[in-house]
Structure 1
Amino acid sequence: MDFVSMITPASANTSVSNTQFAKGWVNQPNGRGTWDIIQTCIVTLILCSWSSLVLNICSRKGRVSFLKNKLRWMLFTLFWPEITLGVAYEQWESASQCVEDFSKKNKQGYEKWTMRHAFFADMGGFLLKAPDFPAFPVDGQQLLYLVENDYIPYPNVDSGTIWDKNKADGFARAITLIQITWFSIQCIGRGVQHLTLSTLELLTINMIFCTVFTFHFWNHKPLDVQTPIILRTDTTIAEILVKAGDRAREPYKLTPLDFITAQPTAANFVAAWWWGLGLCFDGILFQINEKHRPVSTFSNSKAIPPRGYSFWSCFFRILISAGYFALHFAGWNFIFPTTIERKLWRAAMIYFMSLYFTYLVVFAVVTLLSGWIARKYFHKEASTFIEVASMFPRWFQLGALIPIYGSYGIVRIYIVFEGFFSLRMLPIDAYDSVNWSNFIVHF
């Protein structure tokens, strides 16, 4: 079909009355076509979602199980890259604090504990084998406890040995970085020359934003490790628990050393969010889907920094979140095929920001009043949001949380699909290519 014949004046059913649209599928004219937009965005999205993922050791052995697990997280990251970024940041924070804790002990050899060691431990890289118990994973905090109490010797594993287990494909990551750099330059060029950017390209920019930060936070985490290192102890688990005292009396959920894992602090608003997500979707994506205990590895979302978050850490997280949502708002005045689609897009942006700030306010209020709520309604003591929320009946918890998480997921899915739907009718200049000669100094 001829390109000129597809030009449609934007009149009754469009959001801007004086805009002309190219309707339907546009073959590549002198500029670019519909397929050029789709293939560039899809290639970038797939590269970002695959290359940025650095998952924990898979609980089920075999290449097929590993690929299924990674493909599941890849699909999840395509729709919710901000959540994957949040996981990466939490794990980086936890690993950083683990390295700091080891360095404070001032013992010979402890200074060799690096970010690679900490990430490897937190991803289930070390398994503890006791005489009276099957092998189970120990994270960095638990490993330090075992070493300090002389249950095991300091693991004499250098960072090079750990990195040998890393299956990072440097070529694939290099291709990804080249692709996102070129894509970003293209979008900047279109902005400078006031050419229309499609919503699909805007969503791809959002993915690039999350991918760059995710690359940074998982830079020292070994990729696609499938074989852990066994640490053996002559001390029984029963003896370790007895010596630990009252704090080890509670039944464990993951491993017998759960009592060593730090509990969320009152200021840890991220842990509360993960608690709610795990409560609603336990066993689907974020939790280890195993019926037996102890678990054989850690969930990909496991990360509770030992000392919670500092003021600057929280500020940095809020700043990244604000930047991510601000990129969505860049499409506020985009031209959509219909008025209703433009209104839905704007409503989705308002919903995201409203939900985010409402959560922060509710978290702060409940945390401040946690002791009063627990004493008045449950005759118990509490000091954190999670402690208070856990006191309510499960039906009440699910009734309050499922609509929130469900609506967030639905709105996010709509935004992704709208990126493709809007390609059916774009302004004519969306198919113009960037005139790169305008960026070259010349006479």
Structure 2
Amino acid sequence: MLIFLFLIAAFNISSSTPILPSLDPLDPPLPFTAFSHEGVLQCINPARQRTMQDIVWSCLATIFACTWVAVHPNVPDPCDSKWTVLKQRIMIMIYAILCPEFVMMWALRQRIGAARHMEQYNQEFHETKGGPWTLTHGFLLEMRGLRKYKDGNFLGSVEEPGYRFLDPGGSGRQLNGYFDMTEEEINDKSKGDFVTKLLVVFQTTWFILQCLARLTNHLPVTNLEAVTLGFASLNIITYALWWNKPQNMHIAIPIHVHSQAIGPLCEGCSSLLEKKEEPEENVVSPTNGGFLSGAIRGIEQFRQQIVHACSKMPLLPRNWRFADFIRRLSFIGRPIQTFVSMFFGTSIFQMSPAFYASQFDSCKVCVPFCLIATGFGCLHLIPVWTSGSPYYLEKVLWQISTSVIIIQPVLMLGGRLLSINLSSRLCSALVRVVFIGGLGYVIAHVILIVLALTSLRNLPPGAYQSITWTTFIPHL
């Protein structure tokens, strides 16, 4: 994939290199203005101009780097086929395009969980032969990279470092007796290398600097560049949170035990594994009281009610299985179902194994998420200040959609704070309201992406003027 991207970048540079003006001193000097009196763009100095292909390519390359290359997925289930793993990657990429803020929240939850795993292990086993744990070890547990097997049968994933297992003699054996890999050995199983990380860092840094330079020089920033700037800005935070997480690790590290965990070794290890020798089940934890069960039940029941109501719409042929059609399209609500439950503190594994993260007090995530998501929405106001759309309807749609993605995180934070002391029934109703707001949030994102693409048909003349010094930064 990396070689393929470099080949495309080389072809793009060679095919779009402008013809420099003549350096012959006898030639007449070129005028310094880039516009004629009629306001029509003149290619007076091609070195200072960019084409439509350059604008679109730089945005698409940056979005691809932020939504595919920079994403660190969890370890897939052992029963998943290669096609299933690929579908999960594509699904995560679509989610990262439709709601990138929630992918950042997923990374933040995993970063907090990895730090907690590291601290718990180092407090209990700081003098082990394998040495203290790092964030990479914590991420390995967080991404479900350690899995228990007994007699070749899969028992489940290790979710906490403070467990002991029964050895043949009947005495407890701690986790460090089964697992003592170093950070270098774990990173050796990661598919992401240092060159890939530099590629993502250079691409996002170049794009952000280019947009800042255009604003400084009072040049228009297109709608597509504003949308891409939001992806690039969030990617810096997401990539920093996932920096120590192994990337594209497809096979978990097996731990062959003689029994399931029999108890924690420290009081902080509260999320106990069950003592039965069966695979993990989607059982809702009683943590967080009635709100946890009410949130999950409310989201699922509300989605089923939408499908049932749509299946009974009038004026439709009876032989048309509209309900099946709606069910096939119900995947649109699944990312909202997953991320709303993530925001409200429910167990992510119950909703989607691909987005697993440890369960803890979600209030630690709510406030940072609200601030970052609101800042992300404010970036979409840049075209309103600089260029904007010449069409009134598109301008109004852009402003309304931008307002939705700015206000929605604040409403979610308010709903989360209100849900602390509510009963299960009220929480279920509240989650339904937030779910509807999440659907509006995704629709607003889709509208912004569509408007960003349609605005390319009529760009202002200044949008084609480039910033020369940014071309010296390595990028695709």
When the two structures are superposed, what TM-score results if normalisation uses the length of structure 1?
Answer: 0.72
Match of 2:474 in 1: none
Amino acid at match of 2:107: A
Amino acid at match of 1:138: V
Match of 2:412 in 1: 359
Deviation at 1:213, TM superposition (A): 0.9
- The answer to whether structure 1 residue 100 and structure 2 residue 119 are counterparts is yes
Match of 1:123 in 2: 143
**RCO greater where, 1 or 2, for CA within 8 Å and sep 6 or more?**
1
Match of 2:223 in 1: 199
Query: Equivalent residue of 2:76, what SS?
Result: coil
Match of 1:157 in 2: 181
What is the aligned counterpart of 1:167 among 191, 201, 206?
A: 191
Gaps of 5+ in 2: 1-37, 304-329, 339-348, 471-476
CA–CA distance in structure 1, aligned partners of residues 45 and 288 of structure 2: 57
Match of 1:136 in 2: 156
- The answer to whether structure 1 residue 90 and structure 2 residue 114 are counterparts is no
Match of 1:145 in 2: 163
Amino acid at match of 1:76: Y
- The answer to whether structure 1 residue 49 and structure 2 residue 67 are counterparts is yes
What whole-Å deviation, never above 9, does each CA across 1:121-152 have from its counterpart, x for those lacking one? 1212111124696432122x2x4234699355
Match of 2:473 in 1: none
Match of 2:252 in 1: 228
Q: 1:351 to 1:417 in 2, by over 3 A?
A: same
Amino acid at match of 1:234: H
Deviation at 1:314, TM superposition (A): 5.0
Match of 1:348 in 2: 401
- The answer to whether structure 1 residue 318 and structure 2 residue 340 are counterparts is no
8 Å Cα contact 1:336/1:342 also seen in 2: yes
CA–CA distance in structure 2, aligned partners of residues 350 and 251 of structure 1: 50
Deviation at 1:264, TM superposition (A): 4.8
Amino acid at match of 2:356: K
CA–CA distance in structure 2, aligned partners of residues 78 and 97 of structure 1: 29
Query: Equivalent residue of 2:354, what SS?
Result: coil
What is the aligned counterpart of 2:388 among 335, 357, 361?
A: 335
Match of 2:358 in 1: 304
Deviation at 1:407, TM superposition (A): 1.6
Residues 163-312 of structure 1 mapped to structure 2, 5 A cutoff: 163-235=187-259, 255=280, 263-264=287-288, 280=303, 299-306=353-360, 309-310=363-364
CA–CA distance in structure 2, aligned partners of residues 258 and 146 of structure 1: 23
Deviation at 1:89, TM superposition (A): 0.9
CA–CA distance in structure 2, aligned partners of residues 415 and 302 of structure 1: 29
Query: Equivalent residue of 2:147, what SS?
Result: strand
8 Å Cα contact 2:388/2:395 also seen in 1: yes
Match of 2:442 in 1: 409
Deviation at 1:418, TM superposition (A): 1.0
Q: 1:272 to 1:215 in 2, by over 3 A?
A: farther
Query: Equivalent residue of 1:129, what SS?
Result: strand
8 Å Cα contact 1:27/1:33 also seen in 2: no
Query: Equivalent residue of 1:157, what SS?
Result: coil
Residues 33-72 of structure 1 mapped to structure 2, 5 A cutoff: 33-59=51-77, 60-72=79-91
What is the aligned counterpart of 2:464 among 423, 428, 431?
A: 431
CA–CA distance in structure 1, aligned partners of residues 298 and 232 of structure 2: 27
When the two structures are superposed, what TM-score results if normalisation uses the length of structure 2?
Answer: 0.67
User: Which of 56-65 and 119-128 deviates more?
Assistant: 56-65
8 Å Cα contact 2:70/2:235 also seen in 1: yes
Q: 1:296 to 1:156 in 2, by over 3 A?
A: farther
Amino acid at match of 1:413: V
Deviation at 1:404, TM superposition (A): 2.4
In the alignment of these two chains, the number of paired residues is: 379
Amino acid at match of 2:207: F
8 Å Cα contact 1:137/1:298 also seen in 2: no
Deviation at 1:263, TM superposition (A): 3.3
Deviation at 1:104, TM superposition (A): 2.5
Match of 1:379 in 2: none
Q: 1:119 to 1:278 in 2, by over 3 A?
A: farther
CA–CA distance in structure 2, aligned partners of residues 342 and 253 of structure 1: 57
8 Å Cα contact 2:110/2:357 also seen in 1: yes
RMSD, aligned α-carbons: 4.4
CA–CA distance in structure 1, aligned partners of residues 150 and 405 of structure 2: 48
Query: Equivalent residue of 2:280, what SS?
Result: coil
**What is the identity percentage for the equivalent residue pairs of Structure 1 and Structure 2?**
19
Q: 1:182 to 1:116 in 2, by over 3 A?
A: same
Gaps of 5+ in 1: 1-19, 288-294, 375-386, 438-443
What whole-Å deviation, never above 9, does each CA across 1:244-280 have from its counterpart, x for those lacking one? 9xx9899999826979x793599x99x9999977885
